[in-house]
Amino acid sequence: MYCSALSAEALPIKANDHAGVDYMLRAMQVRPASLFSFRVPAFILAATLVPSAAFCQQPMRHQQILELVDRHAAHFSGTSRTIWEYAELGYREEKSSTLLRRELQAAGFRVQAPVADEPTAFVATYGQGEPVIGILGEFDALPGLSQAAAPDRSPVVAGAPGHGCGHNLLGSGAALAAVVLKEYMERNHVAGTLRYYGTPAEEGGGGKVYMIRAGLFRDVDVVLQWHPASKNAVNNGGMLAINSAKFLFHGVAAHAAIAADRGRSALDAVMLMGNGVEFLREHIPSNSRIHYVITNGGAAPNVVPDTAELYLYARNPSSVVLGGVWDRILKIAQGAALMTETTLDVRDIGGSANVLPNDALAKVAQRNLEEVGGLRYTPEEKHFAEELQKSLPPGGAGELDSAASIQPLQRPDPNAAAASTDVGDVSWNVPTIGFETATFVPGVVPHTWQATASAGMSIGQKGMIVAARALAATGADLFSDRQLVLDAKADFRRQTEGRAYQSVIPAGQKPPLTYRNK
Nearer to Zn ion, 63 or 439 (CB): 439
**Which helix (H) or strand (E) is 366 found in, with range?**
helix 359-372
Q: Provide the mask over 116-155, with x wherever binding to Zn ion is found by CB under 5 A and - wherever it is not.
A: ----------------------------------------
Binding segment (CB under 5 A) for Zn ion, from list 162-170, 309-317, 359-367, 373-381 = 162-170
Strand partners, 162: 142
Q: Percentage helix, strand, coil, to 5, in the chain? A: 40, 20, 40
Apex CA 166: angle with CA 161 and CA 170, to 5°?
Answer: 125
DSSP code string of 333-363: HHHHHHHHT-EEEEEEEEEEPPBPP-HHHHH
DSSP code string of 392-454: SPTT-PPPGGGGGSBPPP-PPPTTS-----THHHHHTTS-EEEEEEE-SPTT--SSSHHHHHH
Among all residues, whose Cβ is closest to Zn ion?
165
Strand partners, 436: 227, 233
Nearer to Zn ion, 229 or 272 (CB): 229
* Contact assessment for residue 83 and residue 163, using Cβ atoms and an 8 Å cutoff: yes
> Distance between alpha carbon 126 and the CA centroid of its chain, in Å?
23
Which spans in 107-253 are helix H? 167-188, 207-213
Binding segment (CB under 5 A) for Zn ion, from list 80-88, 163-171, 257-265, 462-470 = 163-171
Q: What is the CA radius of gyration of the chain?
A: 24
Nearer to Zn ion, 165 or 484 (CB): 165
Binding segment (CB under 5 A) for Zn ion, from list 157-165, 253-261, 346-354, 398-406 = 157-165
- Shortest distance in whole angstroms from residue 329 CB to Zn ion: 23
* Contact assessment for residue 246 and residue 309, using Cβ atoms and an 8 Å cutoff: yes
Please state at what angle helix 359-372 crosses helix 60-86, rounded to 10 degrees.
90
Nearer to Zn ion, 165 or 312 (CB): 165
Nearer to Zn ion, 35 or 453 (CB): 453
Site for Zn ion in 243-272 (CB under 5 A): none
The DSSP secondary-structure symbol of 3 reads -
- Shortest distance in whole angstroms from residue 447 CB to Zn ion: 6
For Zn ion, how many residues bind (rule: CB under 5 A)? Answer: 1
- Shortest distance in whole angstroms from residue 446 CB to Zn ion: 5
- Shortest distance in whole angstroms from residue 384 CB to Zn ion: 22
- Shortest distance in whole angstroms from residue 202 CB to Zn ion: 6
Nearer to Zn ion, 66 or 165 (CB): 165
- Shortest distance in whole angstroms from residue 290 CB to Zn ion: 19
Binding segment (CB under 5 A) for Zn ion, from list 9-17, 159-167, 230-238, 496-504 = 159-167
Nearer to Zn ion, 144 or 285 (CB): 144
CA–CA distance from 300 to each of 262, 267, 304, 507 (Å)? Answer: 17, 11, 8, 38
Binding segment (CB under 5 A) for Zn ion, from list 165-173, 312-320, 406-414, 450-458 = 165-173
Nearer to Zn ion, 147 or 307 (CB): 147
Nearer to Zn ion, 165 or 466 (CB): 165
Nearer to Zn ion, 42 or 165 (CB): 165
Nearer to Zn ion, 315 or 376 (CB): 315
Of 46, 74, 104, 165, the one binding Zn ion (CB under 5 A) is 165
Using CA atoms, how far apart are residues 178 and 183, in angstroms rounded to an integer? Answer: 9
| Coil vs helix vs strand at 313 | strand
Binding segment (CB under 5 A) for Zn ion, from list 164-172, 204-212, 341-349, 384-392 = 164-172
Go through 316-351 and write b for each residue having 16 or more CB atoms within 10 A of its CB, e for each that does not.
Answer: bbbbebbeebbeebeebbeebbeebebebeeebbbb
Using CA atoms, how far apart are residues 325 and 335, in angstroms rounded to an integer? Answer: 15
Q: What's the burial of 386, exposed, middle or buried (CB within 10 Å: 0-12/13-18/19+)? A: middle
- Shortest distance in whole angstroms from residue 228 CB to Zn ion: 7
- Shortest distance in whole angstroms from residue 83 CB to Zn ion: 13
- Shortest distance in whole angstroms from residue 419 CB to Zn ion: 6
- 397 binds Zn ion per the rule CB under 5 A: no
Using CA atoms, how far apart are residues 369 and 472, in angstroms rounded to an integer? Answer: 11
- Shortest distance in whole angstroms from residue 418 CB to Zn ion: 12
Binding segment (CB under 5 A) for Zn ion, from list 20-28, 158-166, 334-342, 354-362 = 158-166
- Shortest distance in whole angstroms from residue 74 CB to Zn ion: 24
Q: Which residues bind Zn ion (CB under 5 A)?
A: 165
